[in-house]
Amino acid sequence: MNLTTPRRYWLTGASSGLGAALAEELLKSGVHLAVSARTVAPLKALAHRYPGQVLVVPGDLTNSQTVREIGEQIQHDWGSLDTVILNAGTCEYVDAKQLDASIIEHVVRTNLLASSYCIEAALPLLRAGLAPHLVGIASSVTYLPLPRSEAYGASKAGLRYLFESLRIDLAPEGIEVSVVSPGFVDTPLTIGNDFPMPLKWPVDKAARHILEKLKQRPPEIAFPALFMATLWPLSKIPNRIKLAIGKRMVRSSPPIKDQP
């Protein structure tokens, strides 16, 4: 690869929300982009709008074999990657009075284990790339426990630790690692939230902010700056008010628990 070749990115969770906005901003900048998500139609629409720039590699990223096949497809078509942005994720809320471990399992599998599968597939491609950069989308809520966020917060805290450890271990190879910790962003995942979302950002603004900051490759991008100050009171409200905030929020039927 020479310096005139467009950078090659792999973006997960590219079909909607923050991922779709990131994809649009990246493609407008001229990069070549491999896009993954379960839903194929939006990925094909991107390929139609940006001919020659998009490599569609869809699939369920919680399936390790599927992720290996995606890595093999990128290897076959491109041979390397320069930047990987692991954005795919989900959020389900927990009712501690009726604790359902399958919800926690589902969220951890989607947010943390799937990311580890993607990292395994991506690292050989990044090692062959130019100025390689690995980026993970975590969350500012990992700084502070919030009601009903046991599954989501634990998965994103695990993701943060994974990336921060990788930053140390990959530094000798010249692979830089960044963690992005946004506050509330206006996406299809958050639109159904039944509680106040202070300082919520439009998704396009969030995408532009992230990509602008990533140019400097900081260890972490956390925004907005006042997010924690506004979030702290929410973590301290009395339990009776927490319960009044809204009903138990499970966006989809949790998977069947793993069998021993």
Give the strand order in the sheet containing 220-223: 54-56, 32-36, 8-12, 83-86, 133-137, 176-182, 220-223
**What is the spatial distance between Cα 214 and Cα 223, in angstroms, rounded to a whole number?**
13
**What is the spatial distance between Cα 10 and Cα 87, in angstroms, rounded to a whole number?**
10
Helix (H, G, I), strand (E, B), or coil: what is residue 11?
strand
Task: Choose among 199, 110, 188, 195: nearest CA to 148.
Answer: 195
Helix (H, G, I), strand (E, B), or coil: what is residue 5?
coil
Please list the residues that pair with 86 across neighbouring strands: 136
**What is the spatial distance between Cα 131 and Cα 229, in angstroms, rounded to a whole number?**
36
As annotated, the active-site residues are 152
